[in-house]
Amino acid sequence: MSKIEVGILGATGMVGQHFIKFLEGHPLFELAWLGASERSAGKRYTEAAKWHLGGSAPESAARLTVSDSKPGNAPKLVFSAMDASVATEIEQAFAAAGHMVVSNSKNHRMDHDVPLIVPEINADHLKLIAGQQAGRGWKGAVVTNPNCSTIVLTMALAPLVQFGITKVVTTTLQAVSGAGYPGVPSMDILGNVIPYIGGEEEKIQEETQKILGTFAGNHIAPLAAKVSAHCNRVAVIDGHTVTVSVEFSSQPTEADLRNAFETFQGVPQQRKLPSAPKFPVQYLAEQDRPQPRKDVERERGMVTFVGRLRKCPVFDWKFVALGHNTVRGAAGAAVLNAELIHSEGLLG
C-alpha cells in the first residue's frame, strides 16, 4: 500500500524538527513537503535549518527543498508547527484551499467549531469538522492538539472521569524544551524555578474542560468541573511533571483508581493506530516515580506515567503524572491525531 504524502508548516523550528524525527519510517505517512518563511523558501532543508536534535536531519527531510508557506503544491495532509504569531491566517488559508491541517499551534484550539483532540479521550469531537466546513465555507479543516501540559493532565484525568470529577488543582513543573530553542537563558533557569509561564495556566484550565467535555451538535459542552493550575518552568530538558489533586462526586477507592489508570484504553488502541501505545497511561508503583530522567523517553515518549496515588486531606485523592512535552505533548500528539483522522476516512 502506498503511503500518504504529508507536509509540515514551520518545518525549520524545534517543533517542526520533532515532526520530522517522529515521522521518519512512519508506516502510513511519507514526508513530501516542507513549508517555512520566505527567507527559507527555495533552499535545501539542511541549508535553511540548523538541526537541533540528536544526530543529523533525516534524509527524508534533508533531500527536500523548502517551500513558502502558501497552499498550492502541498499535500492534502499538513502538520502545523507554526509560531502563534503567524499561524492563524496561514492555517486558515490552507484549510480553505482543501488541506487537512493538524495543528500544534494554540490559535484555533478554543474555537467553538475546531476539534481539540486527544484521541484516547475525545475522538468523537472530530464530528465538529462537518460544521466547521459548512460554517466557514472550507473544503478542508483545522484540527488541533492541546497544550503540552494539558495533554499530560487530561490523559491522567480521563480514566477518572467515570467517578465524577468536580474539582482539580494542578501544579506543573515544565521542562525548558517547552520554551523552544534556544529557550530560557541559562542564568535565569539554572539553580532556579520560574513560577510563571505566560498564558499557560489559562490554557490548561480552559483546554481541560473542552477536551473532557461532551459533543453537543455544533459545539462542545465543557466538563463542569472546576480546574485551577499553577505553572512553573524548571531546569529539566524534556518532560513535564504535574501534581494533581482531585475531588469526586462519588467515593472511589485506591483500588478503583489504580485499576482505572492501568486498564485505560481508547479508540487508538482499539484500532491499533501505529503511534498508539498499548496502554497510554501507565501506573508506576515505586514511591519516587515517575521521574523525567528515568521515564520520559520510555514507550517512544507517547505514554503518560502516573504515580504516588494517595489520599488528599483537602480534596479526595492526589497523584503525580509525567509526559514527554515535545513528543506526546506536541509532534507525537499531532501525528496520532492524523492517524485517527485517516482511520475515520476524513482524508478522502
Coil, strand or helix at 229: strand
Q: Nearest Cα to 225, choosing from 210, 243, 215?
A: 210
Q: Is 312 a catalytic residue?
A: no
Would you give the end-to-end CA distance of the chain in angstroms? Answer: 16
Could you say which of 240, 312, 324, 342 is catalytic?
A: 240
335 and 19 Cβ atoms separated by less than 8 Å: yes
179 and 238 Cβ atoms separated by less than 8 Å: no
In sequence order, which residues have a C-beta less than 8 Å from that of residue 152 and are 6 or more positions away? 240, 242, 304, 321, 322, 323, 325, 328, 329
125 and 251 Cβ atoms separated by less than 8 Å: no
> Could you give the CA distance from residue 288 to residue 309 in angstroms, rounded to a whole number?
11
249 and 305 Cβ atoms separated by less than 8 Å: no
With b meaning 16 or more CB within 10 Å and e meaning fewer, what string describes 79-91? bbbbeeeebeebb
Q: Nearest Cα to 164, choosing from 212, 205, 207, 119?
A: 212
> Could you give the CA distance from residue 142 to residue 79 in angstroms, rounded to a whole number?
10
> Could you give the CA distance from residue 222 to residue 215 in angstroms, rounded to a whole number?
9
Total count of residues recorded for the chain? 348
Joined together, the cell numbers standing for residue 229 give 493550575
Could you say which of 18, 148, 231, 324 is catalytic?
A: 148
Joined together, the cell numbers standing for residue 347 give 482524508
96 and 139 Cβ atoms separated by less than 8 Å: yes
141 strand-pairing partners: 100
> Could you give the CA distance from residue 145 to residue 157 in angstroms, rounded to a whole number?
17
67 strand-pairing partners: 35
> Could you give the CA distance from residue 238 to residue 236 in angstroms, rounded to a whole number?
6
Kindly list the catalytic residues.
148, 240
